[in-house]
Structure 1
Amino acid sequence: MNTASHILQGTSRRPEAEQTNFNDLDHWIDLAKTLEKGKFYILFFADVVGLYGNHRGSYQKFVEAGLQIPSNDPSVIASAIAYATNDIGIAITSSVLQEHPFNFARRISTLDHATKGRIARNIVTNSLQNAARNFGQDLTPHDERYVWADEYMDVVYKLWEGSWDEGALLQDKEKGIHADYSKVHKINHVGKRYEVEGPHLVAPSPQRTPLLFQAGSSPAGRDFAARNAELQFIITPSPEKAAGLIQDTRRRVFEAGRNAEDLKFMQGLSSVIGSTEAEARAKEVELEESMDLDAMVAHLGGAIGVDFGHHSLDTPLGDIEASDGTRSIIEWTRQSVEGREATVEDLGRLQGRNSRVVGTPEQIADKLQAWADAGVDGINVINATRPGSYVDFIEHVIPVLQERGLAKSEYGEGTSRKRIFGTDYLPERHVAASYRGAFSNQLEEG
């Protein structure tokens, strides 16, 4: 994330951490080049357009901890990263709240041209009250947000897939015809939230529609992913839990008319690597000591809409009245702590430890194999420090994964989608493909 403190709060204070250089374009270009040398498929940027909920009745903790504020727009630096690299994909997060679909479609098509087909989009709705207010709105109810996202995607699919037919861009200098008018169409979309006439102002890019990520794991989120996503981010506490989530979501993918394998799953994992297990455990202790547990609790509370800041870190969780939004998290935390009553501090610690793998490179490779056996297709590598977490992973774990056939040694040819799915465009069974040729026979006016 283009910010100082993203997921593991407080680690930006470590001497080797360079997260505070997030305003420096060279920081991101150097990171992208490092990841490309390590044969990472995608450099993925998270993003928010508002503050998380209050902590102790205020957003002071978020500002003081640099907890996703300041937060810069990742799409602005995507083209610079593309110019400095050759193969790595670039995924940016954009909420349906923050930009009208017509302008967003134009921006993404431009980036897909600039990257030669290496752009991806993470489709998100918005769960933050402050973000909604920043755009003059009230927070939309959860399931209704996915109805909104469905129309948003409907608009951009029409623009990306249907507005320009194949072969429309002629660039015929001899005849003086740049594009075939009969193959460029207005979309005339009229819906609950949007009215978009078209046509799309950008000619078809190498992928037309960017590679599509999504992260929602609620029933409504899984249904949305089943219709739209090609890669889904998941954060599950174990391979067994991941297997159940994947099985359920792939069933929904099949019911949506797609092949179950059309959706791949990316598990978020952080790592602590040592030459011995003892060294790795010692480094984990150092990591724990550097984390800001109050900020971890603030992040969690803000994400679920609960202000845990009114309780001290040593408050037993049994003393906190649980709402529907907190009951499962509190109960999971209490079950994870043995021999004593869990506290608010444990909420922060477990958020940091969730999906963390610790050990030697070989031990970590063994654990990643278990995730792969559960149906996970790839790992979203979460950093404690930039670039150190990635450098350690590339230098020590990637070679072991390559030896075991769990990681590629070279990039394939073509766009990011082709390297993962074998084709530049979305398959015909994807909902977006229904708009190919859909506007060819309409009467163009004005």
Structure 2
Amino acid sequence: MSKEILFNAFEMTSAMHNSHGLWKHPENKRHRNYKDLNYWIEYAKLLEKGKFDAVFFADVLGVYDVYKRSKHPSIRDGLQVPLNDPALLISAMASVTENLSFAITVSTTYEQPFGNARRFSTLDHLTKGRIAWNVVTSYLPNAARNFGLEDMIKHDERYNIADEYLEVSYKLWENSWEDGAFVEDHETNTLVDPEKVHEINHDGHYFKVEGPHLSEPSLQRTPVIYQAGTSERGRDFAAKHAECIFVGGPTPERIRFYADDIRKRAVKHGRNPENIKIFSFLNVVVGNTTEEAEEKFKAYTSVWSAEAAKAQYGASGYDIAEYEELDPDLPFGYNKSTEGGHYKAAMLTTDAPKPLTVGEVLTRFESPDRSSFIIGNPEEVADGIQAQFEKSGVDGFNLNHLVTPGDLESFVELVVPVLQERGLYKKEYKQGTLREKLFSQGEPLLPNDHPAAKFRRAFVESK
């Protein structure tokens, strides 16, 4: 097979991520060590050993508090809290690796673009071009209140803000500094040629930024753009801006629907769909034998927290507690719209393989959803990954893990060699920046069909 699978480790710099209640598992180390720099250094080494393309750091700016209208269920089970800033880990992790890349989640709704642009330029310099930005618009009501708002900004307006935020960012990265501005000319006493450093003078609806960008151009100039969104507005935003797009769905067929739709939308935006990589989520439990894997999953189920799972579903804007007193045979549905994450809401309705009852929905939170896991010995897990890869049409996966670092260690030791033997996974890294590793063009800069390029071209033509 000519197409190889891309893998990101799906992570958070928190006590727990999506492994609800698994802090009680005796082999889980993350809730004690997530704030230890050496933990993350060893983590990076493990991922590079397994030839992972990147570690993808999700992030939130508030506590999940929709479920039961309380923060207590989330805090009690460590649902993405306590949580540290992932950007501060990257330099240390990059210093012990040569090829592993890093995708960091930053919201366009609450942070200003000028400071964020400098953050990513700095990281791109320090990692030698191994940085990506996962663009999110944020979906937690508590996050809005943490940044001085009484209510969340409406879903589609958050994307309007994000569009302009990206425009400002592109101007700073692509337009502000010319190549060769850093001259180090002793004869003229000039370190940086001021004629080659320019203000951007952006004056828009949401942002006003004079510039110039404070950082000189990094290897990629603009970091690789990641994005996740399955709503109508989210898919269009991703098709316009993103190079790596995460889509979710209960079946490979549904994932393929979203992937095909995004690629078609990209063409309408004047982009080559080959310049987009599609990722979906992957849950794996592997053992040396099928029996060992089943025992692992059984142990995971025994410490699972339904409360934390229900609390996380609050990202949809819906309180699942409101359904707990209803007749379980009633059809499940929503009686209002919310400004929360549309993809979460779709999981139990439009994306579900069949219409669900209230009882069926509530049961889903009681234990890990076995149907979303590939469980077995190395060959069986590789079979499952290959089938999902081929049926869904994705380019790679965000690999989730319930017990850290044990699940990742098992994947690297047991599954990676089988995928490599089948020609499904690389044995060696490509050289270059993250963008060069991901795409066949072999260029560190964004391609000319990307919307950021118009600012670059406009700058070149005006010189």
TM-score where L is the length of structure 1: 0.92
Distance between the aligned counterparts of 1:322 and 1:111, measured in 2? Answer: 42
Change (3 A) 1:10 1:167: same
Q: Which moved more, 1:430-439 or 1:341-350?
A: 341-350
2:27 aligned residue? 16
Distance between the aligned counterparts of 2:267 and 2:331, measured in 1? Answer: 45
Question: Shift of the alpha carbon at 1:182?
Answer: 2.0
Partner amino acid for 1:29? I
Distance between the aligned counterparts of 2:347 and 2:218, measured in 1? Answer: 44
- 1:24-63 paired onto structure 2 within 5 Å: 24-63=36-75
Change (3 A) 1:167 1:416: same
2:8 aligned residue? none
Change (3 A) 1:313 1:185: same
Match 2:389 to one of 364, 372, 376 = 372
- 1:106-117 paired onto structure 2 within 5 Å: 106-117=118-129
1:423 correspondence with 2:439: no
Match 1:87 to one of 57, 79, 99 = 99
Distance between the aligned counterparts of 1:336 and 1:34, measured in 2? Answer: 42
SS at match of 2:75: helix
SS at match of 1:271: strand
CA contact (8 A) 1:53 1:305 kept: no
Match 1:344 to one of 353, 362, 365 = 362
CA contact (8 A) 1:185 1:440 kept: no
CA contact (8 A) 2:251 2:353 kept: no
- 1:300-311 paired onto structure 2 within 5 Å: 300=313, 302-309=314-321
SS at match of 1:438: helix
Change (3 A) 1:241 1:116: same
CA contact (8 A) 1:317 1:344 kept: no
2:301 aligned residue? 288
Aligned length: 440
Distance between the aligned counterparts of 1:322 and 1:279, measured in 2? Answer: 40
CA contact (8 A) 1:270 1:381 kept: yes
Deviations 1:188-228 (A, max 9, x none): 00001100000101000010000110011111111111111
SS at match of 2:280: strand
Question: Shift of the alpha carbon at 1:315?
Answer: 7.1
Partner amino acid for 1:438? A
Partner amino acid for 1:372? F
1:438 aligned residue? 458
Change (3 A) 1:98 1:379: same
Distance between the aligned counterparts of 1:395 and 1:314, measured in 2? Answer: 47
Partner amino acid for 2:428? E
Q: Which moved more, 1:284-293 or 1:251-260?
A: 284-293
SS at match of 2:128: coil
Distance between the aligned counterparts of 2:105 and 2:402, measured in 1? Answer: 20
Partner amino acid for 2:30? Q
Change (3 A) 1:327 1:16: closer
Match 1:329 to one of 345, 348, 367 = 348
1:357 aligned residue? 374
TM-score where L is the length of structure 2: 0.89
- 1:147-166 paired onto structure 2 within 5 Å: 147-166=160-179
Question: Shift of the alpha carbon at 1:327?
Answer: 8.3
1:75 aligned residue? 87
Distance between the aligned counterparts of 2:387 and 2:184, measured in 1? Answer: 52
State the superposition RMSD in angstroms: 2.4
1:142 correspondence with 2:155: yes
Question: Shift of the alpha carbon at 1:360?
Answer: 1.8
Distance between the aligned counterparts of 1:182 and 1:331, measured in 2? Answer: 55
Distance between the aligned counterparts of 1:269 and 1:6, measured in 2? Answer: 14
Q: Between the two proteins, what is the percent identity of the paired residues?
A: 44
Distance between the aligned counterparts of 1:182 and 1:333, measured in 2? Answer: 57
Change (3 A) 1:354 1:178: farther
Distance between the aligned counterparts of 2:355 and 2:416, measured in 1? Answer: 31
Question: Shift of the alpha carbon at 1:262?
Answer: 1.1
CA contact (8 A) 2:113 2:169 kept: yes
CA contact (8 A) 2:285 2:297 kept: yes
Structure 1 gaps, min length 5: none
Change (3 A) 1:39 1:305: same
CA contact (8 A) 1:183 1:440 kept: no
Change (3 A) 1:206 1:321: closer
CA contact (8 A) 1:333 1:346 kept: no
Partner amino acid for 1:236? G
SS at match of 2:452: helix
1:414 correspondence with 2:427: no
CA contact (8 A) 1:42 1:90 kept: yes
SS at match of 1:431: coil
Distance between the aligned counterparts of 2:431 and 2:417, measured in 1? Answer: 22
Partner amino acid for 1:416? L
CA contact (8 A) 1:117 1:207 kept: yes
CA contact (8 A) 1:56 1:309 kept: yes
CA contact (8 A) 1:188 1:196 kept: yes
SS at match of 2:69: coil
Question: Shift of the alpha carbon at 1:53?
Answer: 3.0
Distance between the aligned counterparts of 2:346 and 2:47, measured in 1? Answer: 39
SS at match of 1:85: coil
SS at match of 1:436: helix
Partner amino acid for 2:438? I
Match 2:261 to one of 248, 251, 259 = 248
